[in-house]
Chains A and B, each alone.
Chain A
């Protein structure tokens, strides 16, 4: 029994303690210790970068956030494991059964082995002057787009948090609260204004770009929808904005998308005209991008109008 297996047992114990605690304080402290054990496992499995980010970001910062949140709550006791398990035995057994099933499938899984990507990444690293950590170089080179979008996600989370705290609760400002963002956080608004054209170009590039490069309809359209959200937050409320045209467009695009995919597959275009594959992928990426963009924008505008 190795050190890692002992740590695994502690992980399971503290996960159960955190999830099935009868007091929120106990649950939070247990989840914090769970995070530290998880960080130790990453270290034992030679992933020091992940271990550091887990210990610093998830285990400590996350715990602080949880503690700050429960300060606001009057009663922090919750019904414990006993009431919960006895109340819903059917769901318990279902969960246990599915867990055993997945576990059996995982045990029968063959060893991951050496993937081609892993081999080439390590070979390039070993031949290089070895001045940069390979994990960092993947993050900033091979996955640069993803990392940029991660930073954008964080920015959006920050905007969301500041925004929701201002309009949250029974505050009467909730009615016209969206307009306050520009007054309270001029830096964020300025940053969004500077970012908007860059994001539009990047999003369109992801949708229409070479099918061989990372990205595609989904990612690009997500980015374009993020532009709509940020324009909305910057510009304040536009009451009664009509989404009918967008909704119609979305439905039409969906029908066209389904029909063209069906035609492509069932008419055997791929076998008859292999050279049509690349333009087909490009067109499908564009249609998918339009569809996802319309869908995300409609959902957001709908929520914004309702709230």
Chain B
């Protein structure tokens, strides 16, 4: 019954939850968190595809067949670290934007960029 609940499928669901956060939500900080969720989904897909719960870790393996795949694991360690680096730069850019314009809202930022005054409704929902 729960067979479909495996790593790659959950990774797809998580990726789309993150994408929904990026598309539907209007707050810059939520966008950062949602991109983090998408990053984790990609890592989850790579880690679970070459492995299963009854395998053994690559460093403990005695035979080739029962061992988890070490190649995607090595790739994903890089991805974790780079994800945090990207997140940090993202946060600093948002902080600079907030200090200048006092808003975390994408719509308000867009209207500021277009040279309009931020709408009252946007200020309410920050």
Contact = CB atoms under 8 A, between A and B. Distances in A.
B83 to A, nearest CB: 6
A194 interface: no
A12 B14 CA distance: 6
Contacts of B1: 1
What interface size band does chain A fall in? Answer: 35 or more
B11 to A, nearest CB: 8
A125 B58 contact: yes
Contacts of A47: 47, 51, 57, 68, 73, 76
What interface size band does chain B fall in? Answer: 35 or more
Nearest to B86: A157
Contact of B37 (A19, A49, A53, A109): A19
Interface string A102-114: 1100110100101
Interface in B60-86: 61-65, 67-71, 73-78, 80-86
B52 interface: yes
B105 to A, nearest CB: 9
A135 B43 contact: no
B120 to A, nearest CB: 15
- Which of A83, A118, A119 has the most CB atoms of chain B within a 10 A radius of its CB? A118
For the complex, would chain B's binding face be called helix, strand, loop or mixed by DSSP majority?
helix
A109 B10 CA distance: 14
Given A46-B55, A50-B77, A20 B21 contact: yes
A123 interface: yes
A79 B125 contact: yes
Nearest to B4: A107
For the complex, would chain A's binding face be called helix, strand, loop or mixed by DSSP majority?
helix
A138 B76 CA distance: 12
A66 B92 CA distance: 10
B94 to A, nearest CB: 7
B95 A4 contact: no
Given A119-B64, A143-B74, A15 B37 contact: yes
A72 B94 CA distance: 11
A58 B40 contact: yes
B31 to A, nearest CB: 10
Contacts of A70: 29
Given A54-B80, A119-B64, 15 more contacts: A11-B44, A15-B17, A19-B18, A19-B25, A50-B43, A58-B36, A58-B40, A62-B87, A98-B16, A99-B13, A130-B59, A139-B77, A164-B89, A164-B92, A170-B100
8 contacts: A3-B53, A12-B13, A27-B30, A47-B73, A65-B91, A150-B81, A169-B99, A170-B99
